[in-house]
Amino acid sequence: MSAIQNDTASDAASGLQRRLLMRRFGAGVASAAAIGAMGAGGLMATSRPASGRPARVQAITDADVFNFALNLEYLEAEYYLRAVTGAGLASNLTGGTGTQGSVTGGALVPFQTAAVAYYAQRIANDELAHVTFIRDVLGGSSVAEPTIDLETSFTTLAVAAGLIANGQTFNPFASEVDFLLGAYIFEDVGVTAYAGAASVLTNAASIDYAASVLATEAYHAGAIRGYLSNIGGGAATNAISALRQKLGGVQDLGTDADGNPYNITNVDINGQAQRRTPQEVLSIVYGGGTSGGLFFPAGMNGAITMA
């Protein structure tokens, strides 16, 4: 197939994705004002006050911060690995201190577009590397992988965001469009978590490690945001961002924001990545819970576990 034919096929696939996206989510997306307290699946989308730049968190060590990040990397790695291989992390990468859990959900995604399949594979490789790297840095103090829900959590969140109605389900592994929306949920949260850690870390090597991983997560987030913009995902991403903002209390911009329908960044007025404290991140991934919920039904492992 020629390059021109490849481009034509890609354009056709993008057009199909756009139609599928709008058909699935266009009519059901709630505005930010319509997102209220949702009891389904234990998620309570209660508002937190906007905090601007998160305050410095005291009395935690660099190791505590990296173990907090490791919990999130477990979540991302399991999501992407299952999407591209059908299997999650190897058992030699999931043990450690704390209560080791299990992973529910996740399956091979029926990718239809080469670009999306390559995105997924590249990100899966990176997230696997992040888990391996952070565990190497922490050594014997690494926390175990906690219980992770990649099944009911997405439906609960999609209902709360107004993407689907009560009684419907959202499976991010069912199609590549759904997969991209699931990835969108994670990537921006990871960026803000690492950005927020900058004011907490004390060791120069720790800051260097975190900055390097942050840059990679930002690459991922930009790629996902850009692709969703191109297939008409603005309304869906705006609804997800509005829910994250409501849960975490930090400004969160979708891919159709401020008159820009191709908004590839989630930044403040100074062009800097939004920052969240660990507690603000936990409020999102716990779905508004205090000690667990949503993606981490039994909570995280480590010293930082309470939202």
DSSP state string for 179-213: HHHHHHHHHHHHHHHHHHHTTT--SHHHHHHHHHH
Distance CA 229, CA 14 (A): 11
Could you state, in chain order, the average pLDDT of each consecutive group of 10 residues for the chain (307 residues)? 36 52 50 36 45 52 98 98 98 98 98 98 98 97 98 97 96 98 96 94 95 97 97 97 97 95 95 96 98 98 97
Torsion-angle region of residue 57: left (phi > 0), alpha (psi -120 to 50) or beta?
A: beta
Number of H helices, E strands in the chain: 8, 2
Query: For the whole model, what pTM was predicted?
Result: 0.86
CB 163 within 8 A of CB 29: yes
CA 190, CA 282: separation in Å to the nearest integer?
Answer: 11
Q: Which of 286, 287, 274, 188 lies closest to 238 in space, CA to CA?
A: 188
**pLDDT tens-digit profile of 171-223?**
999 999 999 999 999 999 999 999 999 889 999 999 999 999 999 999 999 99
Is residue 38 within 8 A of residue 46, CB to CB? The reply is no
Q: What architecture is the 21-285 domain classified under in CATH?
A: Up-down Bundle (1.20)
Please count the residues of the chain: 307
First-residue to last-residue Cα distance in the chain: 53
Domain ranges of the chain: 21-285
